[in-house]
Each structure stands twice: as structure tokens, then as C-alpha cells.
Amino acid sequence: MTSTGAHPISFAGRAANSPQFDALYAEGMTLVEETAAYLDGPGRAASKLLSARAAALYSAESIRLTTRLMQLASWLLLQRSLNSGEMSREQVIQERNKLRLGGGGDEEGLSAWRELPPGFRDLADHATRLETRIRKLDESLMRGHVQPEPANNQVIAQIDLLQTAFARR
């Protein structure tokens, strides 16, 4: 197989700069707004009617949900900044490494999960599905930016040694 200088197409890169990304971005930001409105309004009222055990779970899961959504919103904003040229790929990767995508648990496995208000459970489920989609896209994007190890080519290694040797004189 000969090298023609062609590079593989980055489908993940195209996906991050597409109408589908715009829809994902809109969905994520809308979910952040809906969750904030729910937690400040109907969720606050519903939490007052919960048992002590369910109220404690609601409080902990509310924090976890808002943290998850802020991480997802940060990722979406980074991608949008890259797409618009506001940030370089290197800057985005550096900032992306500060994010914690994933780490979501199995809420359904919590014994008091079913006691939580249905509106809250719906928002948490939506956030988990959105996170799964974003993580898959992120993994594809990050995989595309890992520099492959150069092949062990003895001729290139010898040329490098010669260049190094003559450059020192």
C-alpha cells in the first residue's frame, strides 16, 4: 500500500461542526434551562412532600444533576468556541481535559429513586441520555487527536542521528 498523502476523513470532526451539533447544543442548553426552572419551582414544591429519606436523596441527586449538566454545557460551549474559531483546538483540548464527563451512576438502582417526583426523574434520565451521546462524540473527537506513534523506520532513525550529529558541530 503506497502513501498518497491522503488523510482519513474525520467523521467526528465533521459531526462537531454540523447541524446535528447545533441541535445537540440547543438540546443541552434547553435542558439546563428546564432543569433550573424545575428545581426552582415545581421541584422545590414537590420535594417538600417527600419522606425524609427521599428528600435527602432528592437533595443529593439535584446537586449531582446540576453538576452533570454544567459539565455537559461546558463541553458544548468548548465545541462551539472551536467551531466559531474563538479557541484553537489545542486550547479546547486543554480545557476539555479539566472536565469530568461520565461518572453517572445507576439512579434506578437506588431504593428511593421511585419516590422522587416524576418530573425530576425525567430530567435526570434526559441528562443521562444526553451525557451518553456527548461522551461518545467526545471519545471520537479525542481519539482523532491522539498522535500515533511513528513506525520504527531504521532509515529515518539513522537520518535523524546524522542530522543531530552534524547540527552540533
| One pLDDT digit (tens) per residue for the chain, 169 residues | 444 554 443 444 455 567 888 999 999 999 999 999 999 999 999 999 999 999 999 999 999 999 999 999 999 999 999 888 898 888 888 888 888 887 655 565 567 889 999 999 999 999 999 999 999 888 887 775 544 444 566 667 666 666 666 664 4
Asked if the 11-167 domain carries CATH number 1.10.8.930, the reply is yes
pTM: 0.73
Domain segments of the chain as ranges:
11-167
Q: What is the pLDDT of residue 147?
A: 44
Relative orientation angle of helices 89-96 and 118-143, to the nearest 10 degrees: 130
Q: What is the pLDDT of residue 10?
A: 43
User: What cell numbers appear for 167 in the block?
Assistant: 547540527
